[in-house]
């Protein structure tokens, strides 16, 4: 059955699957690909093992070592179970397991629960689909040592994924992530995976955890009187066929909002994971938010919110200064949330100098500027909310976390959850909209106020998709080229500093002086990321995605906004500057 065109390593893996103790359906599917001479698909399915990235394990559903299936999920879980039993030897180990609405999510969750229980580990398995942030909350609530949620977040329907969590409710970071991978790689045969579960160790959970989670969010509310006065605030919400429908509508109702419209066409969680009304269930995409925006125009709504399938990201829209419903980007929403929280803490007299906010290095520097103005520290971490959680963990008891976020539509308020939380974010976005309206302001009025005070920051994203092995090679070549031949200028402004997070070195591009980027704490470790800073304050970042077959280029530029009437002009100038940088670097 050998195909000469296949690389030896790929052929070896295929042979091991055909000879191993895999089910007959899997073997038949492999043989059909061989008979059909499907070289590309066989290569992409077997050329590597799925690895933990910034979001854990994620890939296309299908057969092979580079696909999501019962065996790759099983190997990951067995490796994690082995690591837990070694790391917490002698303890009564507990884990929590949740899943979203994707294809095979419930099946994978049951397989995961069975494997953990077969390894003597007590499992708390959610009875039905639940938001990812609730899994993080449940780990802390139930005193678990670890947890897993089955989700591919906002990826297309063909994908699924596996996020592993640690004792504090955050996704695993170093050294645990590498150690778990080591345990997974040490599994030499499918026979090493204990699929036979122990029902006595599997406990179903549901409504009782929901109640505690919602109560915790409600306890953080700041502007209760504003909500009471603005209870008729018109809100349109879409769960995009995901888990948000289980909690967001009832949370908004408990807060006191009485005029919430749920997009019925997208309210069905769709256990088959087909996402019938959207191609890409991502609130970052305007197409995904189209039904909600149309409804908002129809009923003259104040606010639109949409959560992704596992409810850790939220996109929003509001009426702009032209009277049109406009989508906000992740940087704008993060800035609004942090501004609202900083103001509230200051008004309450709670800013003592020991508070902090946190964001990723590719998120808007407007947050740094605002935090500094309020005398609050702002930590910058690598991309991935697990690094924000790491900062919260390492400063616990010394500094107090107010809130944080990242440009990719993920935000966190308070520290009871240690991952981005679209459920709590929906609550606070609705609350800050009510707070603004109570003062006669829209969300855009509030945004303009921020730009006038702190500067008009604009961020653009250029994302190139490169699929399969050839795409992965092309992405690595792009990074190598930027390291070998860094840009000297961006939009006419000289590059003055280069930060290379792979080598953890920062270089003064004028003098050539090289220094260390602090590592080993506060969300920074070696990572394949490059940043270039120019004399006029432009920031350009190159970063291969850890969860998708993409390389992303983030461009941050800044100007002044002296008057609201200048917004459209300055906005266009900043957008053109971002476009020109992409063109001069040949990023198409």
Q: Which residues are catalytic?
A: 153
Task: Name the pairing type of β-strands 94-99 and 122-126.
Answer: parallel
Count other Cβ atoms within 10 Å, centred on residue 195: 14
φ/ψ of 184, rounded to 5, equals -65, -45
Rounded Cα distance between 406 and 35, Å, is 46
Helix, strand or coil, per DSSP, at residue 205: strand
Query: Whose structure tokens read 């170093």?
Result: 174
Sign of CA dihedral 386, 419, 547, 272: positive
Q: Report d(CA 540, CA 505) in Å as an integer.
A: 16
CA 487 to chain centre: 29
> CA–CA distance from 333 to each of 95, 220, 236, 490 (Å)?
33, 18, 17, 27
Residues whose CB is less than 8 angstroms from the CB of residue 241 and which lie 6 or more positions away in sequence, other chains included: 101, 266, 267, 268, 269, 270, 275, 276, 277, 278, 281, 309
Neighbours of 508 (CB within 10 A): 12
Distance CA 331, CA 460 (A): 10
* Cβ atoms within 10 Å of 3's Cβ, excluding its own: 15
- Among 364, 410, 366, 355, residue whose Cα is nearest residue 388: 410
SS (H, E, C) 46-101: HCCCCCCECCEEEEEECCCCCCECHHHHHHHHHHHHHHHHHHCCCCCCEEEEEECC
Strand bridging mode 505-508 / 514-516: antiparallel
Torsion sign, CA atoms 38, 40, 41, 47: positive
Let me know: does 63 contact 22? Beta carbons within 8 Å. Answer: no
Rounded Cα distance, 269 and 284, in Å: 19
Distance set, CA 372 to CA 120, 333, 337, 365, 397 (Å): 49, 19, 16, 11, 22
Q: Hey, what are 123's tokens?
A: 């499992």
Are the CB atoms for 243 and 308 separated by under 8 Å?
no
Place of tokens 């790759």: 72
Phi, psi (degrees; rounded to nearest 5) at 371 = -60, -45
Strands (E), 140-265: 146-150, 159-165, 202-205, 235-238, 260-262
């Amino acid at each position: 059955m050998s195909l000469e065109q296949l690389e030896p390593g790929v052929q070896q893996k295929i042979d091991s699957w055909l000879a191993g103790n895999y089910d007959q359906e899997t073997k038949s599917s492999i043989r059909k690909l061989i008979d059909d001479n499907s070289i590309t698909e066989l290569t992409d399915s077997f050329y590597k093992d799925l690895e933990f990235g910034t979001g854990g394990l994620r890939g296309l559903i299908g057969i092979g070592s580079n696909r999501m299936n019962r065996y790759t999920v099983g190997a990951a879980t067995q490796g994690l179970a082995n690591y837990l039993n070694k790391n917490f030897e002698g303890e009564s180990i507990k884990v929590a397991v949740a899943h979203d609405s994707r294809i095979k999510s419930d099946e994978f969750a049951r397989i995961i629960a069975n494997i953990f229980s077969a390894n003597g580990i007590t499992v708390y398995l959610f009875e039905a689909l639940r938001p990812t942030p609730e899994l993080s909350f449940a780990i802390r609530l139930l005193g678990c040592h670890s947890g897993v949620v089955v989700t591919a977040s906002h990826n297309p329907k063909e994908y699924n994924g596996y996020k592993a969590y640690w004792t504090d409710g955050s996704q695993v970071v170093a050294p645990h992530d590498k150690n778990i991978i080591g345990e997974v790689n040490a599994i030499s045969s499918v026979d090493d995976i204990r699929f036979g579960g122990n029902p006595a160790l599997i406990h179903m959970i549901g409504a009782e955890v929901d109640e505690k989670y919602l109560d915790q969010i409600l306890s953080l509310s700041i502007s209760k009187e504003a909500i009471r006065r603005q209870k008729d605030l018109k809100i349109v919400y879409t769960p995009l066929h995901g888990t948000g429908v289980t909690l967001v509508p009832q949370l908004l109702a408990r807060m006191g909002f009485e005029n919430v419209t749920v997009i019925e066409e997208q309210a069905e969680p769709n256990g088959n994971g087909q996402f019938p009304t959207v191609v890409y269930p991502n609130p970052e995409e305007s197409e995904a938010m189209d039904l909600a925006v149309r409804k908002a125009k129809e009923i003259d709504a104040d606010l639109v919110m949409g959560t992704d399938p596992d409810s850790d990201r939220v996109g929003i829209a509001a009426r702009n200064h032209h009277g049109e419903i406009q989508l906000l980007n992740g940087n704008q929403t993060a800035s609004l949330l942090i501004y609202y929280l900083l103001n509230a803490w200051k008004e309450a007299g709670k800013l003592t100098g020991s508070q902090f906010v946190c964001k990723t290095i590719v998120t808007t520097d407007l947050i740094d500027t605002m935090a500094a103005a309020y005398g609050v520290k702002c930590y910058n971490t690598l991309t991935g909310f697990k690094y924000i959680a790491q900062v919260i963990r390492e400063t616990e008891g010394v500094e107090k976390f107010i809130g944080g976020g990242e440009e990719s539509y993920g935000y966190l308020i308070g520290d009871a959850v240690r991952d981005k939380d679209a459920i709590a974010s929906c609550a606070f976005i609705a609350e800050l909209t009510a707070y603004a309206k109570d003062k006669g302001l829209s969300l855009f009025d509030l945004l303009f106020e921020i730009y006038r005070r702190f500067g008009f920051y604009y961020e653009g994203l250029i994302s190139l998709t490169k699929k399969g092995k050839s795409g992965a090679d092309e992405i690595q070549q792009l990074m190598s080229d930027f390291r070998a031949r860094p840009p000297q200028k961006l939009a006419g402004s000289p590059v003055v500093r280069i930060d290379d997070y792979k080598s953890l070195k920062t270089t003064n591009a004028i003098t050539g002086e090289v220094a260390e980027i602090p590592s080993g704490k506060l969300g920074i470790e070696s990572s394949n990321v490059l940043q270039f800073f120019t004399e006029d304050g432009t920031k350009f970042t190159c970063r291969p995605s850890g969860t998708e077959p993409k390389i992303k280029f983030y461009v941050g530029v800044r100007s002044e906004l002296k008057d609201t009437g200048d917004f459209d002009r300055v906005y266009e100038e900043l957008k053109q500057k971002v476009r020109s940088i992409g063109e001069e670097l040949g990023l198409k």
